[in-house]
Amino acid sequence: QVQLVESGGGLVQAGGSLRLSCAASGRPNSRYTMGWFRQAPGKEREFVGGISWSGGGTDYADSVKGRFTISRDNAKNTVYLQMNSLKPEDTAVYYCAARGGAIINWSPGEYFYWGQGTQVTVSS
């Protein structure tokens, strides 16, 4: 069993930055591919980005590419989502998730473990 806890959300003005963290416990996260997802009110949960267990591979949704960066520190069992140039449409609850295997999958259903989410609100 893996427990994931996100932190770092908050209120920020458009153009600003936030860094989200996802701390894993229960089992080392070094063998899990990690994903970040978000869900805005009335919308489906969508893939934001992911990182392979080694950290050598990343993938991003087109909507955040060039603005968001995912990294991981396996020694600290923590994954990060650096969000720059934030836009009002980035407002959502952000979740981290873990799955076994080496593939960064865009489907939420492919992830086994989920955090509770952290709210990000971007004001215009």
- Give how far Cα 79 sits from Cα of 13, 21, 87, 123, Å: 24, 6, 22, 25
Per-residue model confidence (pLDDT) at position 101: 83
Burial of 42 (0-12, 13-18, 19+ CB in 10 A): exposed
> To the nearest whole percent, how much of the chain has pLDDT over 90?
84
Give the pLDDT confidence of 31-66 residue by residue, as tens digits.
899 999 999 999 999 999 999 988 889 999 999 999
Give the pLDDT confidence of 91-102 residue by residue, as tens digits.
999 999 999 888
Per-residue model confidence (pLDDT) at position 30: 56
Which of 81, 28, 75, 9 lies closest to 51, judged by CA? 81
Give the C-alpha separation, 107 to 86, whole Å.
Answer: 24
